[in-house]
């Protein structure tokens, strides 16, 4: 199976440097206005998310150069910026029928990314924020109002694992989310205590990741491919998140994962909680202003 689909990964790997270098610069004027006491939070959130994506670019380029510490730092800052931007957006929309630009797959990827880069404390408030929005008719749609270009099967499997870890199980039927045989083994056995028994399940999940890399916009639009960008293709976010979750609950992971997806410099962009200690000065300034101007969007404990 790997030999038939590995070309999807190879083509994505060949595109990483160009993809990261050609990203459009962030103007950031809406965030600058918000920090100066003007403008609106919802507009500043858009810039913060874009600044998060710029950190993704820096992380991938650092990984190419073998700067492992910098790659981890940039990716940690990236996912933190993006998950907070969307969390604040959704919380700001409470009481309306407005929706964010992303979908439930996007929010699931951000939660898995937060786990993968050592910020698991951000997951519970965002999980609750997202589901409160779904139930309240704002923020994001679930399967009852399926967004274009997705089956939400990535959200279904990812949120099921996250809900299991948090002790807040996700009701797939309530949210009209699909059960997917390709991901179901990982969902069912992510808590397998024997790392050797868990290894083939993990390898199958890695196969699924590569099989579902979209190489064209047309493929991505079909909804049958979860990984529609170079970043989503080469960074095995969900695999890294599951490995980190197993560590968090005290389980051993396989000593070696012999799979092409896990043998790239991008699969090494992952870290344990508190491993990245460098502060994100932009995010710190933003949060300080949010506390002053829009404290209602802050979940308790943040």
Residue-wise pLDDT tens digits, 210-222 = 999 999 999 999 9
Q: What is the pLDDT of residue 301?
A: 74
Indicate whether 86 belongs to any domain: yes
Residue 213: strand pairing partners = 227
Number of CB atoms found within 10 A of residue 255's CB: 8
Indicate whether 34 belongs to any domain: yes
pLDDT at 225 over 70: yes
Expressed as residue numbers, the domain containing 205 is 2-297
SS3 259: coil
Residue 139: strand pairing partners = 99
Indicate whether 226 belongs to any domain: yes
* Nearest Cα to Cα of residue 54 among 25, 17, 91, 92: 25
Residue-wise pLDDT tens digits, 121-180 = 999 999 999 999 999 999 999 999 988 889 999 999 999 999 999 999 999 999 999 999
Identify which has the larger pLDDT, 184 or 5.
Answer: 184
Indicate whether 218 belongs to any domain: yes
Residue-wise pLDDT tens digits, 94-104 = 999 999 988 99
Buried b (16+ CB within 10 A) or exposed e, 194-203: eeeebbebbb
pTM value is: 0.96
Structure tokens at 179: 């059960």
Phi, psi angles (nearest 5°) of residue 99? -125, 150
pLDDT at 5 over 90: no
Residue-wise pLDDT tens digits, 226-260 = 999 999 999 999 999 999 999 999 999 999 999 99
Q: What is the pLDDT of residue 227?
A: 97
Q: What is the pLDDT of residue 4?
A: 54
Q: 């979908």: which residue's tokens?
A: 103
Indicate whether 142 belongs to any domain: yes
SS3 100: coil
Indicate whether 114 belongs to any domain: yes
Q: What is the pLDDT of residue 165?
A: 99
Could you tell me where the DSSP H helices lie in the chain? Answer: 2-13, 16-21, 29-35, 41-64, 68-92, 104-116, 123-136, 153-166, 181-189, 195-211, 217-221, 230-234, 237-248, 281-293
Phi, psi angles (nearest 5°) of residue 227? -115, 90
Q: What is the pLDDT of residue 205?
A: 98
Indicate whether 302 belongs to any domain: no
Structure tokens at 136: 């309240």
Indicate whether 260 belongs to any domain: yes
Residue-wise pLDDT tens digits, 6-56 = 799 999 999 999 999 998 899 999 999 999 999 999 999 999 999 999 999
* Residues present in the chain in total: 302
Domains of the chain: total: 1
* Nearest Cα to Cα of residue 174 among 209, 208, 207, 131: 131
For 171-234, the three-class secondary structure string (H helix, E strand, C coil) is CCCCCCCCCCHHHHHHHHHCCCCCHHHHHHHHHHHHHHHHHCECCCHHHHHCCCCCECCHHHHH
């Amino acid at each position: 199976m790997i030999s038939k689909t590995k070309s999807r990964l190879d083509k994505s790997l060949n595109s990483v440097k160009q993809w990261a270098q050609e990203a459009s610069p962030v103007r950031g004027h809406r965030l600058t206005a918000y920090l100066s006491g003007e403008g609106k939070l919802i507009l500043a959130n858009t810039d913060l998310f874009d600044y998060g994506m710029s950190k993704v670019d820096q992380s991938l380029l650092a990984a190419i150069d073998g700067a492992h510490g910098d790659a981890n730092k940039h990716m940690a800052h990236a996912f933190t910026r993006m998950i907070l931007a969307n969390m604040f957006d959704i919380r700001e929309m409470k009481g309306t029928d407005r929706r964010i630009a992303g979908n439930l797959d996007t929010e699931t990827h951000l939660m898995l990314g937060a786990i993968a880069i050592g910020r698991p404390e951000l997951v519970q408030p965002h999980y609750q924020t997202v589901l409160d929005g779904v139930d309240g008719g704002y923020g994001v749609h679930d399967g009852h109002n399926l967004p274009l270009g997705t089956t939400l099967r990535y959200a279904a499997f990812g949120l099921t694992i996250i809900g299991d870890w948090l002790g807040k199980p996700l009701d797939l039927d309530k949210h009209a989310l699909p059960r997917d045989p390709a991901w179901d083994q990982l969902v069912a056995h992510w808590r397998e205590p024997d790392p050797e028994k868990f290894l083939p399940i993990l390898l199958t999940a890695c196969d699924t990741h590569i099989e579902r890399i979209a190489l064209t916009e047309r493929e991505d639009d079909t909804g049958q491919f979860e990984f529609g960008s170079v970043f989503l293709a080469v960074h095995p976010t969900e695999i890294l998140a599951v490995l980190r979750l197993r560590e968090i609950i005290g389980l051993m992971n396989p000593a070696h994962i012999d799979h092409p997806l896990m043998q790239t410099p991008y699969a090494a962009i992952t870290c344990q909680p508190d491993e990245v200690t460098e502060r994100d000065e932009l995010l710190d300034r933003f949060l300080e202003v949010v506390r002053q101007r829009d404290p209602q969007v802050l979940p308790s404990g943040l």
